[in-house]
Every structure is written in C-alpha cells, then in structure tokens.
Chains A and B, each alone.
Chain A
Amino acid sequence: AQKITQTQPGMFVQEKEAVTLDCTYDTSDQSYGLFWYKQPSSGEMIFLIYQGSYDEQNATEGRYSLNFQKARKSANLVISASQLGDSAMYFCAMNRGYKLIFGSGTRLLVRP
C-alpha cells in the first residue's frame, strides 16, 4: 500500500534562512507523482510544487525546490529565504491514480 511519512510534526526557522521539510514515501508503482501543499491558518490547501517519478531534474518553483532522491524514496521540500508568510502546515502527497495520499503534515513557524 502507498504511504507518505512526514516525521517532523513541527519546525522553526529564522526569517531569511532556508529550511528543509522531510517526506518519505512507499510505493510499488513505477510511475507516480509527488506534490507539496501549503495550508495556512485560513485552511485552504495551496499547491506548491510537483515532481514526477520519471523527471530527471529536481522541480523548482520560485523559492521552493524539491530534493527528489528516488532510490531513497524521499521528496524533501526546500524553502529558501524563509518569510513570515511561510508559517503554515505543509503536506506532502503522492497520487494513487487520481487520488492523493497525504502525509500527516509539518507545521512550520518562521521566527522574525
């Protein structure tokens, strides 16, 4: 069965520093996609970044990059130059067909 594991329930980072949020996954599928979403206190899930299992390059979107290590089955999110507005819950997800399987999330708090 597919599973997403986020081992960091909460993290702190100083404003303007970089932070890495961990995500490991388990699947027997050869083709799959990995997603990261941000959920601020308002509740809306905001899409951040996508990595396909056959993508050779790590995905990047502005200050977000995905450190994809296929052999280790990890897909860590790196946020560069943290901002106060980055304080939120972050969810890693993997698709099982069209369904998304989510991890338990990491709460990030950016300190001024």
Chain B
Amino acid sequence: GAGVSQSPSNKVTEKGKDVELRCDPISGHTALYWYRQSLGQGLEFLIYFQGNSAPDKSGLPSDRFSAERTGGSVSTLTIQRTQQEDSAVYLCASSLDGRESDTQYFGPGTRLTVL
C-alpha cells in the first residue's frame, strides 16, 4: 500500500513568512508524528497525535509552531513568521496505534529553506 506522503518536497521562503507543511499518513494508522532534522540538532521530536486524544506538543520549539490533524488523518504543520534557524528537513511518520513498540514509518520529508 501507499506509504506516508508529504508535500511540498521542497519549500523556499523568506524570513517572516508563514509556511504550511502537509503529511498524509498510511491508511489505517492512528498515530502521527512530526520530527525535524537539522545539521546542528540532528533528529528531534516535535509533536504526536493519537486518535482523538490531545496531541503531545512538548517538542515544538516555540509558539510560532503549531500543528493540527483533521479527521484523524491528514496533518498540517504550520510555522509562523519563519526564521533562518527554522531551515531543516521536516519529517512526518505514522504508526499503527502509537504503542511504544510500534514501528514508525516515515515520509520523504519537506526540506524547508528560510532565506
């Protein structure tokens, strides 16, 4: 079946602009995760959605970052007033039900460049 898809694959924006990154998880997966991969920080957790539960936003680096998941499927990560340090690859993953031993399957990522 289809894997996790993300769009756009690349995004170049100017400092101060808002951006939206989209993630479409594997069909039937109830858990969805966002991670960020940057040269300085490596791979870091951002946010976790599981079913209808309140999301775990503990990894979001600032209040400029927000995310939502509509209908338990597609998720959008929004970065407001982008800064150059937001430049990174944003990876989305999904898993079957969010258990600790669940395998997380990743999408191809969105490469964000803030000029």
Interface of A is mostly: strand
Stretch at the interface among A7-15, A20-28, A40-48, A62-70: A40-48
Q: Is A99 an interface residue (CB 8 A)?
A: yes
Report how far A102 CA is from B95 CA in the complex, Å. 17
Tell me if A44 and B109 are in contact (CB < 8 A).
Answer: yes
Q: How many A residues are at the interface, by size bracket?
A: 20 to 34
Q: How many residues of B sit at the interface, in one of the four size bands? A: 20 to 34
Task: Please give, as numbers and ranges, the residues of chain B lying within 8 Å of A101 by CB-CB distance.
Answer: 45
B contacts with A: majority SS: strand
The answer on a CB contact under 8 Å between A102 and B107 is no
| CB closest residue in chain A, given B45 | A99
B101 and A52 form a contact (CB under 8 A):
yes
A37 to B56, CA, bound (A): 23
Q: Tell whether B103 is near chain A: CB-to-CB under 8 Å.
A: yes
Contact B43 A98 (CB under 8 A): no
Counting chain B CB atoms within 10 Å of each CB, the highest count among A91, A93, A102, A104 belongs to A102
B103, A98: Cβ atoms under 8 Å? no
Return B44 CB to nearest CB of chain A, in Å: 8
Separation of A52 and B103 alpha carbons in the complex (Å):
11
Contacting pair A98 B111 (CB below 8 A):
no
Specify the chain B residue showing the minimal Cβ separation from A98: B98
Among A35, A44, A97, contact of B103 (Cβ-Cβ < 8 Å) = A35
Report chain A residues within 8 Å CB of B31.
Answer: 98
B21 on the A face (CB < 8 A): no
- The reply to whether A45 and B42 form a contact with Cβ atoms under 8 Å apart is no
| 19 A-B pairs in the complex with CB atoms less than 8 angstroms apart | A32-B100, A33-B100, A35-B103, A43-B89, A43-B111, A44-B106, A44-B108, A45-B91, A45-B93, A47-B103, A50-B101, A52-B101, A95-B100, A98-B99, A99-B48, A99-B56, A99-B59, A100-B43, A103-B42
B interface list, Cβ under 8 A from A: 31, 33, 35, 42-45, 48, 50, 56, 59, 89, 91, 93, 95, 98-109, 111
